[in-house]
Amino acid sequence: MSRSLLSKGALAMRCQQSAVTTIGKSRIQTKVQKIPFSAPPSSSATGIARDTALIGFIGLGNMGFPMCMNLLRQDDGDAPLVTLLALDTNPDAVAKLAAESNGRAEAAGSVQDIGAASCDVVFTMLPSCDVVHSVYNGLIQGADNSSNDRSTLFVDCSTVAPSTSRMVHNEVVKKGHSAMDAPVSGGVKGATDGALTFMAGSDVASLEKAMPYLNRMGRAVIHCGGSGTGSATKLCNNLALAAQMAGICEAMNLGEALGVDPIVLADVMNASTAKCWSCEVNNPHPEVAKVRGMTAAAMNYEGGFASKLMLKDIGLAVEAAQEISIAVPIGASTKELYRMLDKRGMGAKDFGVLLQFLRGK
């Protein structure tokens, strides 16, 4: 059975209401019926043939590049054949994508060029709120200069403030296009394996249009509500994840200091109420990681989710909480730990390196 799609309840609601902006209690679920895809009309806006769907993609980093490779997969019989117009600050990444695409990807000259290309969908995977604002200003400028009045769906997969997502959405919609915030969970491995979870903030029509492409890159798409709710959900998830990792690091550090074998301690925790992703999947103790077949801690915390990115995400969550006067004392404390860790020069390491920071290393 195929991957993530609209639940039957959501589709029923769609039939009953012509202007639905949220799915309410129904959500996108995995392994249910796919939404049929209607092929787009042809166009000569770029050198890529338009008998397939033209997708723009900006940001070919550790996440974006494998996401692009999965978009180019042809194993979904009811999904469109995709061609890509790609852009990154690193031209080597774009050249590598073009070389591995069998002629189905090419480099864009600029952000404005992608905006003007009348793409069916444009995906962005960018590092910060400021970069997202800058890129979308360019995309909107390019779309304004396009001779084609065809509507484009813009999907931002970056982890940014909900206010940024809403601002981008409003600017895009004013120009006659549609927008979705769809940050992801699953890390580089999830991006490579096509197993990401997308947290979508959008109306139902935009979600339906995006689904054939999200299915290629992920295993689950969860509709979180309207504009900005995908970004808000991602920040809440990472706020909890950071505190979770801090707790596991403290427990592993204390247990070993009290004479408990770290492998035994991790096994007990994973069979008890302390079981969680940071203990079972990404345990920060190198010995546990090596024995249990985990990656980052076993490889000197290389790869994985960089501590500096976690610091950015916690910072965004804490700022969002402050804006609406919500107390997040554990989040604020965790943010301070990662701030000090980053200042120590450990920001590029996986965020499980907090264990070594607590040990004074």
Cβ pair 269, 285 in contact under 8 A: no
Instruction: Give dist(CA 110, CA 125) in Å, integer.
Output: 16
Question: Which one of 34, 234, 312, 335 is the catalytic residue?
Answer: 234
3-class secondary-structure state, position 164:
helix
Lowest mean pLDDT among 6-20, 143-157, 201-215, 235-249: 6-20
Q: pLDDT band for position 5 (50/70/90)?
A: very low
Rounded (10°) angle between helices 129-144 and 162-174: 0
Residue 294 has pLDDT above 50, yes or no: yes
* pTM (2 d.p.): 0.83
Phi-psi region of 326 (alpha: psi -120 to 50; beta: other; left: phi over 0): beta
- Whether 25 is catalytic is no
Tokens representing 253 are 């550090």
Q: What is the mean pLDDT of residues 139-156?
A: 90
Question: Per-residue pLDDT tens for 201-251?
Answer: 999 999 999 999 999 999 999 999 999 999 999 999 999 999 999 999 999
What is the DSSP pairing of strand 28-29 with strand 5-6?
A: antiparallel
DSSP string spanning 33-48? PPPP-PPPPP--SSSS
Q: What is the mean pLDDT of residues 347-357?
A: 97
DSSP string spanning 231-276? HHHHHHHHHHHHHHHHHHHHHHHHHHHTT--HHHHHHHHHTSTT--
Q: What is the mean pLDDT of residues 183-188?
A: 91
Question: Hey, which bits of the chain come out as E strands?
Answer: 5-6, 28-29, 53-58, 82-87, 105-107, 121-124, 153-156, 178-181, 184-185, 196-201, 218-225
List the helix and strand counts (H, then E) for the chain: 15, 11
